[in-house]
Amino acid sequence: MSKSVSSREKRRRKREEVLQRLREDFEPWEKSRQARYHAGEKSWSRLSDIHNDGEKIYQFFKDNDGNSLKPFWRKLERLSRSVRREGQQAAHPVYRYPSAYLDAIIHLDDAEKWALEEGRLDDDIVAEQPRPRRKVLEWLAKPENEDVLMAMGDGGTDLWAHSEPGEGKTSFANVIGGVRMPEINNETLLWMLTLDELECLPLAPFMTVAVPEGIEYEVHAKPRNPALPTVVIELTDVFRDTIEYTDPRDLMTKIVPGGLYAVLPDPLFRGCEQLTRATYTPAHKADEPAEVTPLRDVNFAFLETRAKDDEFLHPTTMVNDEFSDLVPLNPEADENDTNRKVKGWPVAQGKARKKNLSMINLSHSIARCDEGPREKNRWFVTMPNTPPPANSLSGIGNVPINMNYINTFADRKGRAVIWRNDNFAPIQWPNPYRRYRFRGEISVTYPRREEALDAL
């Protein structure tokens, strides 16, 4: 009897050890406007004097020297000081070729660009921006940076990062999409989750999980240390808070400017067929496994609602992981209308881009994706040990870099080359996973869906 009690106590302590590690690593940031709104404190308008997540989030991430990240506008000022000191030709490629990188992550609309061109910094459209964004806009308006301002486009942007596993795609998405874009643009982030591994954990203390209403789910924390058990946890043991949604259009009415959202897919696919005019079959309605629609197909419906509906027009970035699985080469006209969904992607993307939707797509390969999405995408990010695509690849356009350039400037994790047409620039970012000490995976399962799949 004592051995049994001792064994139970040992398991309890190990479970508590895992939970305590999660609590310490993922303590939520609850002081922002977005956090207080979702906590139900006040209406959105009554919280206007509270800082946004993007105004603080970069301070919680460390550079490679262990110091807090500097605000992006200070990095811009350092670039222009270098130009004044050493001349345009000696400037960093990020400054010399602003369409390669700066245009991809600094989002302006026509009215803002017009105000900056005329130096109207006192206009509300500039003066009332959150401080980190206002400082970036003021930098763009300086006469010495006129060429940079002229390179800025309007609407959303699209960055496609590619590499084999472990070369930095998800860390790029976390830092550039989850830290810098909310800082620079007060951007809203929609990270479309896959269930087996939640890749956005560095952002979790600032994130709201969008959960499909009425769906039973389980969350598991599985430490790499074999001496520690897999523990069933709550989403809020890791993420800041949760909201529920009934369909993609409904979620657009619940998100707010500057909010960071991790979106769990709805296994019932509510509203998806109406948005995409394509077939979605939940596991419990399928007669055979091939009929079951992959959960990732909800991404098509979220793109469609952002393209068709005007519920939410604030600058938003959508992160699509495993992009080659979502838009595969030569998609089949199968039970799930994969061909129709994939062929409709670039059309919907073009419409959504005009409504301030940006994308960060992550894949192992560009060649294994359909030609349409390749042709629609404008910026590519090539990671270390990754050959750039061939110029002969249909839909890709001109590829201005080669493997020698990659090996020179993207020689380790946290570095890459971003390119578009004839312009390219080496970039780097810190390791976001150093924010926490938990080593392992956080995953989500839908028990009823699993039961239905097992029954087929």
Q: Strand order of the sheet with strand 218-223?
A: 231-233, 218-223, 440-445
Supply the pLDDT for residue 64.
Answer: 85
Residue 91 in domain: no
Supply the pLDDT for residue 5.
Answer: 61
Residue 399 in domain: yes
Task: Give, for all 456 residues of the chain, the pLDDT tens digit.
Answer: 455 668 888 889 999 999 999 999 999 999 999 999 999 999 999 999 999 999 999 999 998 888 999 999 999 999 999 999 998 888 999 999 999 999 999 999 999 999 999 999 999 999 999 999 999 999 999 999 999 999 999 999 999 999 989 999 999 999 999 999 999 999 999 999 999 889 999 999 999 999 999 999 999 999 999 999 999 999 999 999 999 999 999 999 999 999 999 999 999 999 999 999 999 999 999 999 999 999 999 999 999 999 999 999 999 999 999 999 999 999 999 999 999 999 999 999 999 999 999 999 999 999 999 999 999 999 999 999 999 999 999 989 899 999 999 999 999 999 999 999 899 999 999 999 989 999 999 999 999 999 999 999
Residue 97 in domain: no
Count the domains in the chain: 2
Supply the pLDDT for residue 3.
Answer: 59
Residue 448 CA, distance from chain mean position: 28
Residue 118 in domain: no
Residues 27, 165 share a domain: no
Q: Which residue range is the domain that position 27 belongs to?
A: 2-37
pTM: 0.96
Residues 285, 426 share a domain: yes
Supply the pLDDT for residue 197.
Answer: 82
Residue 149 in domain: no
Residues 347, 203 share a domain: yes
**CATH number, residue 189:** 3.40.50.300
Residue 113 in domain: no
Residues 301, 172 share a domain: yes
Supply the pLDDT for residue 6.
Answer: 80
Residue 168 in domain: yes
Residue 57 in domain: no
